[in-house]
Structure 1
Amino acid sequence: MVVDAQLGQFGDLLFGSALAIYVLAMILHAVEHALLRRTGTEEESVSRVPVAAGATAASARSGEGLSSEGRSGEGLSAEGAALAADLDERDARDAEPPTRPPRSRAERFGRTGVSLTVLGFALHLAMLVVRGFAAQRVPWGNMYEFTAAISLVAVGAWLVVLRRRPELRRLGAFVLLPVIILMFLAGTVLYTQTAPVVPALRSYWLVVHVSAAVIASGILLLAGVASCLYLLRAAHESSGRFAWTSRLPSADVLDRVAYRATAIAFPIWTFAVITGAIWAEAAWGRYWGWDPKETTAFIAWIVYACYLHARSTAGWRGRRAAVINVVGFAVMVFNLFFVNLVVTGLHSYAGVG
């Protein structure tokens, strides 16, 4: 298998560019958060659309016209009614369309941050594509690529949330922070030059199993951030602590974001665990051997199953469920770094160079 080193270096350049843009986007979101004056609510109030003065005048005159027509039976002439109708028609033509008020400074910073996040996502995606072509395989064969892919999914999931709920933009700095940390570690501690994968990974299961693990991990990162912010926001609402969280959406909104993200990711993670067992049987002759990676992945599955069950149980909703979700997120991080880099097992394919 021939590796294109020059193309791989170009992919590394795209990776660094995406990281720099994410940092700038996070700074802009942080400025937006600092400029917010109102406390977070369940849904940010939509900018009200004022009615133009001309339209108001037209409505008033239209009302007068109707009133005049009502009095037509009392002696209004046909010429007067026609004149009133003509005035109403001209006023309607001359009325200015409704206009929105100018955007606040916070909104301008936030929107620019979102635009930069989209640009960073495009460069990030291009990096993985280029890396794949350079290595002539799927671009998640080592820890550098795997962490970059998880970060890409996390940002993509965040952009989907923003598409559906633009008022959640104020969470941007908190979502991008762990992404930036992961990418920084990937580009420094975990960096590996473009190279073929070890023989044990040369299987179509690398596409199926690892892809599912990447997608689930990226979405669960978003859920973990939402649950952490939920705990801080709930503490502020109950005791007044963490005053800076007053600018975040309400605890209920954060709880729903965490729950929906986890509900989407959990079946994908389940699929990853199942396909991993099938791959293990094909590679090592057994479906399950309690390898450290297998064990930690199964523990994460149990924790997230408990979270979903707790979230649907009235007595465990709220803080208790959020704590379970944060524990699941911690297990995923432990599985990503400690198990891959420190513990020796059959899954020791970190490829850290």
Structure 2
Amino acid sequence: MTLNETLGQYSDWAFESAFAVLVLALILLVAEYATYRADAVAERERERVLVPSGNAPLDGPGRVPESNARPLSQRLGNMGRALVFVVAGLQIASIVLRGLATERFPLGNMYEFVAMACATAIVFGLVVLRKPSYRIMWVYVLVPVLILMFLAATVLYADAAPVVPALRSFWLPIHVTIISVGSGIFLVSGVASLLFLLRIRFPKGEAHSGVFASIAQRLPDAQTLDRLAYRTTIIGFPLFGAGIILGAIWAEAAWGRFWGWDPKETVSFITWVIYAAYLHARATSGWRNTRAAWINVAGFVAMLFNLFIINMVVSGLHSYAGLN
């Protein structure tokens, strides 16, 4: 086995390890979610017992000593979020090793593109979801990342190899990196809007029953989720737009025209327009609540359609999925 083949194998192992650790992190975070209510009830009961009566000293006889132990849900959540850092490190290692194995920038097929987008979503999440009020959202961010990584490792997987001649350009790392990073950021934004719609349906302070009501009970308030989706889209929108513009410049150098209404170009532009409509609606009175959020969700769906359907089903000049 040559050095490049060995590095390619290490890259695959790092990706598979990231997937396994991600599954474990998600289990711990779901367990945190499941044990939260029991811990909250136990904490309220403990506080009731610990309330001193009369003028008795706080540490006097009859008072139950206060425990310094953290609730089970908090300990599970902290372990799960710690593992997310491990996942990010393994994802980055997998991408770097794939690049070293192929002696090119590792964005030449759908497997590598999805791996980069998932790594971006995780790293970006570590930055924007660090506040305590956002931490519960990790459960919902990791689920689509886990699904995408599973598809990348199975349906979309491609062996480490040189790219087709059309992709041997210095524009590849510039154009595709920006698009994949923007896509990873939009994943976080789309999840935030979906959770916002769920929170609007089941507001805090109102009694509701059912699975979705139970899911919504620990989410941040609707305004916080809406603000997160908006601010996240503000970051991803110019990146995605810059990626489209740079792709047009690359197209002029490679094919002699800036724009040819290729299916990939067309749907990418439509996706960008949808996100532009979301930002406009979000700033327009009367559209700031559910209607703007649905536009953001539509943009996320369009991005997934562009990634999978356009690349795997529709034939065009951008058909470089790397699938057998």
* TM-score, length-scaled by structure 2: 0.87
The answer to whether the 8 Å contact 1:281/1:287 transfers is yes
Q: CA deviation at 1:102?
A: 2.9
Amino acid at match of 1:10: Y
What is the identity, as a one-letter code, of the residue corresponding to 1:210? V
Query: Where do 4+ consecutive residues of structure 1 move more than 6 Å?
Result: none
Counterpart Cα distance in 2 of 1:284 and 1:160? 39
Question: For 2:267 and 2:276, how far apart are their aligned partners in 1?
Answer: 14
Residue type matched to 2:137 in 1?
L
In 2, the alpha carbon distance for the partners of 1:3 and 1:256 equals 48
Query: Runs of 5+ in structure 2 lacking a partner?
Result: 39-65
What letter corresponds to residue 177 of structure 1 in structure 2?
V
Taking a change above 3 Å as real, the CA distance of residues 3 and 201 of structure 1, as seen in their structure-2 partners, is farther
Structure 1 residue 37, shift from structure 2 partner? 2.5
Paired AA for residue 166 in structure 1: P
Query: Match of 2:58?
Result: none
Pair 1:198-2:164 in alignment? yes
Query: Secondary structure of the equivalent of 2:190?
Result: helix
- Partner SS state of residue 139, structure 1: coil
Q: What's the counterpart of residue 236 of structure 1? A: 202
Q: 1:312 to 1:100 in 2, by over 3 A?
A: farther
Q: Which residue of 2 aligns with 1:189?
A: 155
> In the TM superposition, what whole-angstrom CA distance separates every residue of 1:68-111 from its partner, at most 9, and x where no partner exists?
xxxxxxxxxxxxxxxxxxxxxxxxxxxxxxx9943211111111
Q: Letter of the aligned partner of 1:349 in structure 2?
A: Y
* Aligned positions of 1:1-353 closer than 5 A: 4-37=4-37, 101-163=68-130, 165-237=131-203, 240=208, 242-244=212-214, 245-353=216-324
CA deviation string 1:268-289 (max 9, x = no partner): 0110010011011111111111
Name the structure, 1 or 2, with higher relative contact order (CA <8 Å, separation 6+). 1
Code of the residue aligned with 1:331 in structure 2: it is: A
Letter in 2 for 1:183: M
What SS class does the counterpart of residue 286 from structure 2 fall into? Answer: helix
Q: CA RMSD in A?
A: 1.9
CA contact (8 A) 1:216 1:269 kept: yes
Distance 1:327 1:100, change over 3 A: farther
CA distance in 1, matches of 2:270, 2:3: 37
Tell me how far 1:239 sits from its aligned partner: 8.7
Q: Which amino acid aligns with 1:8?
A: G
Q: 2:9 is aligned with what amino acid?
A: Q
Larger Rg: 1
TM-score by length of 1: 0.80
Conserved 8 A contact 1:18-1:123: yes
- Kept after mapping to 1: 8 A contact 2:129/2:137: no
Give the whole-Å Cα distance in 2 for the aligned partners of 1:239 and 1:306: 35
Letter in 2 for 1:229: L
Distance across 2 between alignment mates of 1:202 and 1:101: 59
C-alpha distance after superposition, 1:130-176 (max 9, x if no partner): 0000000111111111100000000001100133x133111111100
Q: Is the 8 A contact 2:278 2:296 kept in 1?
A: yes
**1:205 alignment partner AA:** W
Q: Distance in 2 between matches of 1:257 and 1:23?
A: 25
2:21 counterpart letter in structure 1:
I
Asked if the contact 1:3–1:135 (Cα under 8 Å) also holds between the matched residues in 2, the reply is: no
Equivalent-residue separation in structure 1 for 2:80 and 2:135 (angstroms): 9
Distance 2:3 2:305 in 1: 32
> Partners of 1:250 and 1:3 in 2: how far apart?
52
Is the Cα–Cα contact under 8 Å of residues 3 and 196 in structure 1 kept in the other structure?
no
**Whole-angstrom distance in 2 between the partners of 1:319 and 1:272:** 29
Any conservation in 2 of the 1:3–1:195 contact (CA below 8 Å)? Answer: no
Deviations 1:175-226 (A, max 9, x none): 0000000000000000000000000000011011101101100000000011
For 1:108 and 1:210, how far apart are their aligned partners in 2? 39
Verify the 8 A CA contact 1:134 1:194 in the aligned structure 2.
Answer: yes
Q: CA deviation at 1:36?
A: 1.9
Any idea what the Cα deviations from partners look like across 1:236-264, whole Å, max 9, x if unmatched? 12894621211111111111111111000
CA contact (8 A) 1:37 1:247 kept: no
The match for 1:66 is: none
Q: Which amino acid is the alignment partner of residue 23 of structure 2?
A: V
Conservation of the 8 A alpha-carbon contact between 1:3 and 1:136? no
| Residue identity in the other structure for 1:197 | V
